[in-house]
Amino acid sequence: MNNNSQKQGQEGEIIARKYLISKGYELLELNWRFRKYEIDIIAKKDETIVFVEVKTRKSNTFGEPEVFVTKQKQNFLIAAANQYLIENNIDLESRFDIISVLQFNNNHTVKHLEAAFYPLLK
């Protein structure tokens, strides 16, 4: 990842954090890692643990940012989230959200997709 896209991603995560806090979420972890997987934000709202993937783009020419959360990425997030719940002995409802940040000029828009995807039962 080049420095510009890293910087853009970091800016998007800061915007997402501020957004979640403004909506009453408690931030528990930032950039939590399990093996090679990373969860951008782990938050709590009421009695629900929320695993948040943040996608930031400068334009939606190639699609909205959230469409870049592939099935493979979802599976990685699910595996990491499962490990987080086990390691921390958490027995609460959980869900997977995507926060999409579009930045253009000095403006940005935030789209919060609650329960954006679900683990598949095997």
Instruction: Give per-residue pLDDT as tens, 39-80.
Output: 999 999 999 999 999 998 876 666 676 777 889 999 999 999
Options 3.40.50.1820, 3.40.1350.10, 3.40.50.2000, 3.40.190.10; CATH of 3-117: 3.40.1350.10
What residue ranges do the domains of the chain occupy?
3-117
List the structure tokens of 19. Answer: 């957004």
Q: Is the pTM of this model over 0.85?
A: yes
- pLDDT at residue 122 is higher than 60: no
* 66 Rama class: left (phi>0) / alpha (psi -120 to 50) / beta: alpha
Residue the block writes with tokens 């806090």: 21
pLDDT digits (tens, 9 = 90+) for 5-38: 777 778 889 999 999 999 999 999 999 999 989 9
Structure confidence by residue, pLDDT tens digits, 75-105: 999 999 999 999 999 999 999 999 999 887 7
Closest listed residue to residue 99, CA positions, set 3, 2, 5, 25: 25
